[in-house]
Amino acid sequence: MAKIRVVIAKPGLDGHDRGAKVIARALRDAGMEVIYTGLRQTPQQIVSAAVQEDADVIGLSILSGAHNHICPEVMRLLTEKGLDDVLVVVGGIIPDVDVPKLNDIGVRGVFRPGTSMQEIIDFINGNVRERTEVI
């Protein structure tokens, strides 16, 4: 079976990368192929990375409160590139009221403080697109 390919990205100006790095490692240990973009990536750069890496999943780590700006832009660019089937998840400090807004624009998983690594691994395994093996 092909490995699930995940791009973990830190958009915006925020540099708090503990969560992004812990998750990157946990997904890798769970058998996924993980690409970590590093800090301060624009939505454009994140989507380009997803294209280049043929990503199945994009995980955005946002703790600064800028999710209402960043997520719609990432979703718009994904649609523009025809990557609607890429699973997008977000982790960080996200107020309750923003969760349905993010779900509405197509962010499938929103993970907040206290979420276990296993929960995120299970969510990805359960929601990622079927990958057709090309031989």
Partner 1 sequence: MAKAFTTMSGRTIERIYTEELLDGWDPRTDLGTAGEFPYTRGIHPTGYRGKIWTMRQFSGFGTPEETNERYRHLMAAGGTGLSVAFDLPTLMGRDPDHELALGEVGKCGVSIASLADMETLFQGISLKDITTSMTINSPAPMLLAMYLVVAEQQGADWKTISGTIQNDILKEFIAQKEYIYPPRPSMRLITDVFSFCAKHVPKWNTISVSGYHIREAGATAVQELAFTLRDGIEYVQYGVDAGLAVDDFVPRISFFFNAHSDFFEELAKYRAARKVWATTMRDRFGAKDERSLKLRFHTQTAGVSLTAQQPYNNVVRTALQALSAVLGGTQSLHTNSLDEALALPTAEAATLALRTQQVIASESGVTNTVDPLGGSYFLERLTLDMERETRAYFDTIDQMGGMVEAIENGFPQREIADSAYRFQQAVERREKIIVGVNDYVVDEKTSVPILYIDEAAAARQIERLKVLRRDRNNARVRQALDDLKRAAEGRENTMVPLVEATRAYATVGEMCDALREVWGEYEERPII
| Distance, CA of 28 to CA of 25 (rounded, Å) | 5
Task: Name residue 110's beta-bridge partners.
Answer: 90
CB 6 within 8 A of CB 56: yes
| Distance, CA of 99 to CA of 125 (rounded, Å) | 21
CB 21 within 8 A of CB 36: yes
Q: How far is the CB of 1 from partner 1 (least distance, A)?
A: 24
Q: How far is the CB of 35 from partner 1 (least distance, A)?
A: 10
Q: How far is the CB of 118 from partner 1 (least distance, A)?
A: 6
In the complex with partner 1, which residue's Cβ is closer, 22 or 105?
Answer: 22
In the complex with partner 1, which residue's Cβ is closer, 83 or 117?
Answer: 117
Q: Which residues bind partner 1 (CB under 8 A)?
A: 12-18, 21-22, 24-26, 34, 36-40, 42, 64-70, 93, 95-97, 112-114, 116-118
Residue 132 has which token pair?
């057709």
In the complex with partner 1, which residue's Cβ is closer, 82 or 102?
Answer: 102
